[in-house]
Amino acid sequence: MQLAERKVETADQPMIDPFGRTISYLRVSVTDRCDFRCTYCMAENMTFLPKRDLLSLEELERLCNAFIDKGVRKLRLTGGEPLVRKNVMHLIEALGRRVSDGALDELTMTTNGSQLHRYATALHDAGMRRINVSLDTLDPDKFHAITRWGDFGKVMEGLDAAQAAGLKVKLNAVALSGVNDHEIPDLIRFAHGRGMDLTLIEAMPLGEVDQDRSSHYLPLSKLRGDLGREFTLEDIPLDTGGPARYARVTETGGRIGFITPLSHNFCASCNRVRLTCTGMLYMCLGQDDNADFRKVLRENPDDDGVLKAAIDAAIARKPKEHNFELDETHSRIAVSRHMSVTGG
C-alpha cells in the first residue's frame, strides 16, 4: 500500500476563528479502538465503530494535507490507540514527509505505550521526534485495575524502546482523587529521572463510563498546592503548542505541566481542532457541534477547493469555550461521545 506522493504547495489563507484565534494545531484520531479500557475513558464493554464508517488512510492523508495547506503547523495523531490501526505507518510516513518538506513543524502522537516496543524506531525514521505516553501509575496492579486490559511491563518496554530510538517522551497522567493522587510525587521522580516531562490532566466528563467521575475529581490547583509542600515549583513560559501550563521542579530539574480544562480553562488561547476517524471535525472538545468531512471528501474526490471551503466554514463556527462541568460533588456529562471517539 503506497500513499500518494505530494508536491509542496503555497499555503492558503490562515484559519482564524470568530474570536481572533489562529488555528494551527490539528489533532487526528485515526481509530476509536484501543487495547486498553481505562476506567475514566471507556466502559469495559465498548461498541466500536464498524470499519466501513472509518476514513481510509488515503482520505485521512488528503484531509490532513488540506489542513496543512490552510496553516496547520502541528499535527498530533491520537485514538483510541493510534498504533492499533492497521497499516497506520503508511499514513505516518506520508505526513512525516510534510515535516521534511517544511510544510509542517511537528508530527507527534499520543499513545498508551502498548505498541511502542514494535514501532518506536519506525516512528523516528518517519520524522517523529516527540511523543506523549499516558501513564497514571507505577504500580503494576493498579495499572491493570485502571486500564483493565493493560500490561505494565509492555509499557515499560515501550518507554525503553522509544528513548533508545531517539524519541523525546512526555508522560501524561490523569490525576484521580483516591486513586493515584498520592503517587504523583513518585511519577515526578520517575519521569524526571529518565529525562521525561510529566503533564497532569484533570479528568473530563466525556461519555458515560462505569463509575461516578465526581468521586475521583481532583482539581489540579489543589494538587499543585499539595505538591508545593514537597517540591519547589517555579512557573516557566514554556509553550509546546498545547494547553498545558508548565513549572520547573527545583529538586529534580525537570518540568511538570498542568492541563486544567475544568478548574482553570484554557479556552481563550485555544489554537486547535479535532478530527475523528470518521471524518467528523469537532471545533471544541467540550461541544457537540461538528462538520462532516467524510461526506465532503467522498462527494468531491478531486476538488480540494471545496474541501478547503468546508474547512473555512467549520472554523467560522468554532465556539468561544467549552461547557464542561465537574467537581467533587457532581458530574454533568458535557457530551455523550467517549474520549476515544474524538481523540484525547
DSSP states of 97-144: HHHHTTS-SEEEEEE-STTHHHHHHHHHHTT--EEEEE---S-HHHHH
Question: Residue 15 has which C-alpha cell?
Answer: 484559519
Instruction: Tell me whether residue 215 is annotated as binding.
Output: no
**Known binder of ligand: residue 274?**
yes
How far is Cα 120 from Cα 156, in angstroms, rounded to an integer? 13
For the record, the C-alpha cell of 117 comes out as: 516496543
φ and ψ at residue 66, rounded to 5 degrees: -65, -40
Question: Is 267 marked within a binding site?
Answer: yes
270 is in an annotated binding site: yes
Q: For residue 296, say whether it is annotated as part of any ligand binding site.
A: no
Q: Has 40 been labeled as part of a binding site?
A: yes
Cα distances (Å, whole numbers) of residue 204 to 261, 282, 333, 338: 8, 16, 9, 10
Residue 229: how many other CB atoms lie within 10 Å: 6
- Count Cβ atoms within 10 A of the Cβ of residue 50 and give its class: 0-12 exposed, 13-18 middle, 19 or more buried: exposed
**327/143 Cα distance (integer angstroms):** 24
The length of the chain in residues reads 344
User: Annotation-wise, does 194 bind a ligand?
Assistant: no
> Grid coordinates standing for 173?
497522567
Is 38 part of any known ligand binding site?
yes
Query: Residue 335 burial (CB < 10 Å; 0-12/13-18/19+)?
Result: buried
- Is 263 assigned a ligand-binding role in the annotation? no
Which residues 6+ apart lie within 8 Å of 264 measured at CB?
Answer: 220, 221
134 is in an annotated binding site: yes
Look up residue 40 and give its DSSP letter: T
Distance CA 286, CA 35 (A): 25
232 labelled binding-site residue: no
Is residue 273 annotated as involved in ligand binding? yes
Going by the annotation, the residues of the binding site for GTP are 27, 76, 110, 170, 272-274
Known binding-site residues equal: 27, 34, 38, 40-41, 76, 80, 110, 134, 170, 204, 267, 270, 272-274, 284
Residues annotated as binding site for [4Fe-4S] cluster?
Answer: 34, 38, 41, 267, 270, 284
Known binding residues for S-adenosyl-L-methionine are 40, 80, 134, 204
